[in-house]
Amino acid sequence: MSVIAADRKPASDRKPASDRKLTRAAASSDRRFAAISHALLILWSVIVIVPMLWVLMSSFKSTGEILSSPFSLPDHWRFENYANAWTDANIGKYFLNSVIVVVSALVLVMLLGAMCAYILARFEFPGRRLIYYVMLAGLTFPVFLAIVPLFFQLQNFGLLNTRPGLILTYVAFALPFTMFFLYSFFRSLPHDVYEAALIDGAGDWRAFFQVMLPMARPGMAAVAIFNFLGLWNQFLLPVALNTDQDKWVLTQGMAAYASSQVYDIDYGALFAAIVITVVPVLLVYCVFQRRIAGSVSQGTFR
Amino acid sequence: MKETIPTAETASRRPEPAARGGRPRRRKLTFDRVTFFLAFLGVPLAIFVIFVLIPFGQAIFWGMTDWRGFSPDYNFVGFDNFTKMFQDDIFLKALRNVALLAAFVPLVTLTLALGVAVAITLGGPSKGPVRGIRGASFYRIISFFPYVVPAIIVGLIWAQMYDPNAGLLNGVLTGLGLDHFDTFAWLGEKATAMPAVMFVIIWGLVGFYAVLFIAAIKGVPGELYEAAKIDGAGRLRTTISITLPAIRDSVQTAYIYLGIAALDAFVYVQAMVPNGGPDNSTLTISQRLFNVAFAKQQFGYATAMGVVLAVVTLVFAALVFLVNRLTGGGEGESKRKAPGSRARRAAAKGGAR
């Protein structure tokens, strides 16, 4: 109630000239709606942000402080928690593993997905629809249905517990999403540029790499962002298929570190490890957030 | 390349009608074109078939065997695994748990996401074109945060939030004078474990779907809102009668993929309650499957669970379709913009993974 009253006053004080046409009822309903909206959004923002801030703050505290007073600021800022987390949890190594696997998979899946989408979108041939729908099915079935056979499939190829194995699996499971997104993108590209390239003597290969792919860049960027988040956050596939501790990715390492903390808990270091894991991605997100919002709308309206 | 390697195609190649402006897809098969097709379609499809399609196919067969993995021999047992499963109390409990997850998580997540999206997009002044609320991009950025955090970390953060001794939640509650919650184990009590897990999943997913709906709402033609305003419709009325029907397809797609995420829930429960929770009250099929397969090595039985999970997922999707159709969801509309809705489905899926 007080929020509404507080909001009403400044709004009626200002009252720009153009607003006079509004009936008084509409204006007050506007304010009520805005006030309720703000209240709701602020409440949700608090629910989202408080746990994160709490983690950040606790990452500088000692275990004793965390246990005795969850709210208070640390009496002295223990940066050593970060050093402990870095060495105990092996974060550096797992981070590097994640980067290697995710970047390789991302490059591969973008290339293969674009190629596949291009063929399906721009060429007519027997079996085209079948391939399209089979991939659609692959997008819908739960990964858990495939996880056990996948384990042995990789073993048969000698790819179990290897980086290439994990990368190929990532590529395979990200492929349908990439293909569908880019499919509609390639469909929408104009035909005449492509024709012109052919007239200029470009073959299919050159037409794709020098003409069509560059034109699809906005679509590629959008999918790449989603694929990156999806692959970076992937947990089930590495846990099942990549059990060699030297090759663990970050999500695995963090899960293991947290569960190793059951008996002699160093809360401060655990929180520091969480911060180290989250911050780089969060920073990247803040830089690209406009683009991400744009990507979602591209995915929705193409 | 193509000059140096003579093949049947290049040898028998007839001169093409020189660069006519017609349909390129009717051109003759040249060597260039054949390799192009092989590489562009063959390589991605091979990877997809080997690592996705064949495992899916194998799963259905192995689900009907008693295979235990490392020995090559197994017996075909038909539907024995499935009858065994439905006499297995632990599995039935897991099935009940995921049914609860599928019932509540998508519904609550979408309600919140729609609430956030409507507040952000339509919270501005009603005069003139539809404008967002003040601070719209701030709210949008904040609410998307949890989606950027890996799900496993979301689980770990909340495991700490719920911690009976060190957790912030009990700290806040005792701070408010509710001493009953001094050492209350949210994830350790049968009554609260499941709701607590659900809340975390919802917390992690609302932001993505809010951003998805914001995009969908912005795509609704402004004239519709103008018309509604002239007809004297209020905000609530506009939301229910204009916004919701207009973004119906997005909601349906989101509902299905949230259902898939909720039926899985593996990451979240592994992070918070890896042991299945008090009296297995948070055990999911995915956890049970994982343990039966990789700890007990009963691969045939585990795969059969995967089949059941897939069937449950399909039933869920069919139900959503059915409800949407029965309540007047537009078939004509979804047909008209089929490519768009496909991409949207794909986008939502990207979010669910």
State the Cα–Cα distance between residues B142 and A282, nearest whole angstrom.
Answer: 11
Q: How far is B204 from chain A (nearest CA, A)?
A: 9
Domain annotation covers residue A143: yes
Interchain CB distance below 8 Å, B211 and A233: no
Mutate to test the interface with B, among A69, A198, A239, A300 (most CBs of B within 10 A): A300
Cβ burial, residue A192 (10 Å; 0-12/13-18/19+): exposed
Higher pLDDT, A291 or B84: B84
Is A201 found in the same domain as A158?
yes
Is A213 found in the same domain as A103?
yes
List B residues 201-260 in contact with A (Cβ-Cβ < 8 A). 203, 206-207, 211-212, 214-216, 218-219, 234-235, 250, 260
Tens-digit pLDDT profile for residues A4-27:
333 333 444 444 444 455 566 666
Interchain CB distance below 8 Å, B47 and A251: no
On whether the B81-352 domain is CATH 3.30.497.10, my answer is no
Is A144 found in the same domain as A33?
no
Interchain CB distance below 8 Å, B126 and A30: yes
- CA-to-CA separations, B144 to A45, A148, B110, in angstroms, rounded: 10, 33, 14
Higher pLDDT, B282 or B65: B282
Domain annotation covers residue A295: no
Distance of CA A97 to the CA centre of its chain: 18
Share of chain A above pLDDT 70, in %: 86
Is A124 found in the same domain as A49?
no
Tens-digit pLDDT profile for residues A248-265:
999 999 999 988 876 667
Decide if pLDDT at B33 tops 90. Answer: no
Q: Partners of B76 in the beta sheet? A: B65
Is A205 found in the same domain as A142?
yes
Interchain CB distance below 8 Å, B342 and A69: no
Is A33 found in the same domain as A120?
no
Residue A257: closest C-alpha in chain B: B156
Q: What is the mean pLDDT of residues A164-182?
A: 94
Tens-digit pLDDT profile for residues A65-101:
887 777 778 878 888 889 988 888 888 899 999 999 9
Interchain CB distance below 8 Å, A145 and B56: yes
Decide if pLDDT at B341 tops 60. Answer: no
Q: What ipTM, to 2 d.p.? A: 0.83
The dihedral formed by the CA atoms of A172, A178, A180 and A181, expressed in degrees to the nearest 10: 170
Spell out where chain A has E strands: none
Q: Partners of B65 in the beta sheet? A: B76
- Please report, for the domain that includes residue A208, its CATH number: 1.10.3720.10
Domain annotation covers residue A283: no
Burial A264-277 (b: 16+ CB within 10 A, else e): ebbbbbbbbbbbbb
Decide if pLDDT at B258 tops 90. Answer: yes
With a CB cutoff of 8 Å and minimum separation 6, the contacts of B274 are: A259, B287
Tens-digit pLDDT profile for residues A91-137:
889 999 999 999 999 999 999 999 999 999 988 888 899 999 998 88
Domain annotation covers residue A65: no
Q: How far is A28 from chain B (nearest CA, A)?
A: 10
Dihedral class, residue B135 (left if φ above 0, else alpha if ψ from -120 to 50, else beta): left
Q: What is the pTM of this model?
A: 0.83
Q: How far is A81 from chain B (nearest CA, A)?
A: 16
Domain annotation covers residue A289: no
Question: Minimal CA–CA distance to A37: which of B126, B229, B199?
Answer: B126
Share of chain A above pLDDT 90, in %: 40
In this complex, the residue of B37, B45, B157 whose CB is nearest that of residue A131 is: B45
Q: How far is A53 from chain B (nearest CA, A)?
A: 11
Is A132 found in the same domain as A11?
no
Per-position DSSP letters for B227-279, written without gaps between them: HHHHTT--HHHHIIIIIHHHTHHHHHHHHHHHHHHHHH-HHHHHHH-TT-SGG
Q: Say how many domains are in chain A.
A: 2
Is A40 found in the same domain as A112?
no
Share of chain B above pLDDT 70, in %: 82
The answer to whether residues B45 and A117 touch, using CB atoms and an 8 Å cutoff, is: no
State the Cα–Cα distance between residues B170 and B174, nearest whole angstrom.
Answer: 6
Q: What's the domain range around A226?
A: 89-260
Is A223 found in the same domain as A104?
yes
State the Cα–Cα distance between residues A108 and A171, nearest whole angstrom.
Answer: 7
Q: In the numeric block, which tokens belong to residue B149? A: 């955090």
Residues of chain B with C-beta less than 8 angstroms from the C-beta of A150: 51, 55
State the Cα–Cα distance between residues A99 and A165, nearest whole angstrom.
Answer: 15
Is A111 found in the same domain as A35?
no
The answer to whether residues B267 and B201 touch, using CB atoms and an 8 Å cutoff, is: no
State the Cα–Cα distance between residues A111 and A182, nearest whole angstrom.
Answer: 11
Residue-range domain boundaries for chain B: 8-62, 81-352
Is A117 found in the same domain as A218?
yes
Angle (deg, nearest 10), helices A267-301 and B151-161: 130
pLDDT in the model for residue A26 = 64
Confidence of residue A298 (pLDDT cuts 50, 70, 90): low
Q: In the numeric block, which tokens belong to residue A63? A: 């275990």
The answer to whether residues A235 and B270 touch, using CB atoms and an 8 Å cutoff, is: yes
Domain annotation covers residue A97: yes
